[in-house]
Structure 1
Amino acid sequence: MIKSISIIEGDGIGPEVIKQTIKVLNSIAKKYGHKFHYKNLLAGSKAIEKFGDPMPEETINHCLKADAVLFGCIGDPKYDHNPKGMRPEDGLLKLRKKMNLYCNIRPISIFPKLDKSPIKKELLNNVDFIIYRELTGGVYFGEKGRYKNGDKAYDHCIYSKKEIEKIGEKAFKAALFRKKKVTLVDKANVLETSRLWREVIKKISLDYPSIDLDFLYIDNASMQIIMNPKKFDIILTDNMFGDILSEESSVLTSSLGLLPSASIGDDKSMFEPIHGSYPQAEGKNIANPLGCILSGSMMLEYFGMYREKNLLEEAVKDSIEKEICTPDIIDSKLSSTTEEVGDYIKKYIIHQ
């Protein structure tokens, strides 16, 4: 199989984790006779410096033509106070909108070997849920600004029935192949957009009688993820709530650096770890590449390469079992470098 993949390394540790992911993907391609053609593209701070734009049109056009996009991470404190549309993060929002990546999928699963989570071990046994986060609507994309004197600010949150239906269908279809449970997280006691979400999702649920649907307010859901994470299967929620809950859920797994994601559109998709650019670790060879590598695994599944996905995930699990890990998830005296983790997973795949 031949696939074209747009590569956006981004900022901070992005180039380092992308390097290891490509190394692993190339070992998969070699083993199974695939050809992956990569196109490196600029976005984020480097694009601001070169083009004065965090997401140049050239980058967007290549992403729209590719079979998939593999994204590192984005963000640079140097540009935190740039005007609207000129921060690195603004570029990522722009790309998601242009590619119509409306469904963000964030799996949360536990590696029993790890013990860096502050949550009691007995609460973590068999935790396995997925967050379905709406990605192109809500407060992140609503009109925002300040009134003339600057003393008042506003961020509009708008959702349409169609936007909610699209991701709702995705979540219910996924639940059919799991534990058959969907939890809608909202704030329907306060927000009108949340009330619309409930109306639409209740109606969709009628077409899925085998799926158990329940509802949680965001404040309660935030507590339940820590106190009783086993209760969840599919969490369905809006853009901002999904962003917050997935970051919180990283506490269960031991590190934000372990979590992958897929952003799915009608005919285009992008794969990226959920962590930020972590500029403090840039160039130190200590960044955890597993979130990015597992995002590559989700990309293989998107391509229909199921054997390849399974082998890659088996290699990741083996690296953790053998304690070939970066210092965020193992004692720093025993830890491996970013490069060593990638090398181990590559060799595991080749020798299977």
Structure 2
Amino acid sequence: MSKRILVLPGDGIGPEITAEAVKVLDALVGEGLDVELDEGLIGGAAYDAAETPLPSATLDMAREADAILLGAVGGPKWEPLDISVRPEKGLLGLRAELGLFSNLRPAILYPQLADASSLRAEIVAGLDIMIVRELTGGIYFGQPRGIRTLENGERQGFNTLVYAEHEIERIVRSACDIAMKRGKRLCSVDKANVLECTELWREVAERVVKNEYPEIELSHMYVDNAAMQLVKWPKQFDVMVTTNMFGDILSDAAAMLTGSIGMLPSASLNEKGQGMYEPIHGSAPDIAGKGVANPLATILSVAMMLRYSLGESAMAERIEKAVEQVLDQGLRTPDIMSEGMTEVNCEGMGDAVVAAL
């Protein structure tokens, strides 16, 4: 049976970058990849059409899909809306409805882009980190939450950080499964010295590794130190696992070590292996419609999709090698442009990857 892929272009540069990723999929379909593509609305585009950031039709298609390719959501146009219907709620709702609890965010420095990193080449050369972020729990989803008025008339905002043992167990297992295929080293990031919730996180992580993955070398690090160490000595890390909010922050910091946030894909998986794949950058409304966005993170997200949800590792490797070949040719979008290279636009970069395939 052919596999179904739901494409959700979203907002800002989302339609531009997903169009180039679809070109790559179409090229592989011509070589035997058996997939069918659907397209749906999410985020601000969905709100404009249906007054909700996650229409029921989109959710129905997402439930039936084997994998989802997402562009980006959000932008200043929708910031005046009530928080309950802002574009980001569509993304959070999709993650929650599908149980996409395990977010994989690789931070890989391509040697061709070593000069684009904000750190010295010797610090980041050969960088290859996988950050595993818990995605459906923690402070982003915890209840109670809101803004209330106190007895003295002052307003107070409040959110709840909460994790149950089973939520910690499954994300640690997900990270361990990845670590077993890499260097068998796992760093669990928490704030156990001040947050009881992450004190439990540390206890559960130790139990899971000891009882189920004795080959893995487990270490712990407080999140503030982890942020510092990512900048000081990033190559000490192999696989990192952490909470929703900490992972959100650390993965973006790690992204900039690689030279551009426009180069990094991500995967969000549920327990059935169904996944949503997206670049880790946002909708970049300042460059939307200008044709200068970097589509490589989205194209590399397709490679992750083929590997993790569609069982097509060989085709995934072909995409990754095609991206490296294009970088070897000196082609660069503006975000990774350097002296002596050839600047191309979003469409030109997509065409180059297809040609390299």
TM above 0.5, yes or no, is yes
- What are the within-5 Å matches in structure 2 for residues 73-222 of structure 1? 73-114=72-113, 115-143=115-143, 144-148=145-149, 149=153, 151-206=155-210, 207-222=212-227
Amino acid at match of 2:159: D
Aligned partner of residue 297 in structure 2, secondary structure: helix
1:107, 1:129 within 8 Å by CA — same for their partners in 2?
yes
1:323, 1:330 within 8 Å by CA — same for their partners in 2?
no
Q: Deviations over 1:80-131 (max 9, x none)?
A: 2321311100110000000000000011111111111110000012211100
Q: Deviations over 1:265-285 (max 9, x none)?
A: 022211011000000111111
Under a length normalisation based on structure 2, what TM-score does the superposition of the two structures give? 0.95
State the alpha-carbon separation in 2 of the partners of residues 44 and 132 from structure 1. Answer: 24
Amino acid at match of 2:148: Y
Query: 1:276 corresponds to which residue?
Result: 282
The equivalent position to 1:348 in structure 2, one of 334, 337, 356, is 356
Shift of 1:150: 5.8
State the alpha-carbon separation in 2 of the partners of residues 48 and 150 from structure 1. Answer: 33
State the alpha-carbon separation in 1 of the partners of residues 243 and 83 from structure 2. Answer: 22
* CA RMSD across the alignment: 1.2
The equivalent position to 1:318 in structure 2, one of 318, 325, 331, is 325
Q: Deviations over 1:134-180 (max 9, x none)?
A: 00000100132111246211011111000010111111111111111
Q: Deviations over 1:252-293 (max 9, x none)?
A: 111011110000002221101100000011111110001100
State the alpha-carbon separation in 2 of the partners of residues 84 and 346 from structure 1. Answer: 40
Query: 1:330 corresponds to which residue?
Result: 337
Shift of 1:35: 2.8
Runs of 4+ off more than 6 Å:
none
2:107, 2:129 within 8 Å by CA — same for their partners in 1?
yes
State the alpha-carbon separation in 2 of the partners of residues 78 and 155 from structure 1. Answer: 26
Q: Deviations over 1:24-45 (max 9, x none)?
A: 11112212x1232111101111
The equivalent position to 1:243 in structure 2, one of 245, 248, 254, is 248
State the alpha-carbon separation in 1 of the partners of residues 318 and 195 from structure 2. Answer: 44
| Percent of paired sites with the same residue | 41
- 5+ residue gaps in structure 2? none
Query: 2:37 corresponds to which residue?
Result: 38
State the alpha-carbon separation in 2 of the partners of residues 262 and 253 from structure 1. Answer: 18
Amino acid at match of 1:103: S
State the alpha-carbon separation in 2 of the partners of residues 75 and 293 from structure 1. Answer: 21
Count how many residue pairs are aligned between Structure 1 and Structure 2: 348
Amino acid at match of 1:174: I
Give yes or no for the alignment of 1:2 onto 2:2.
yes
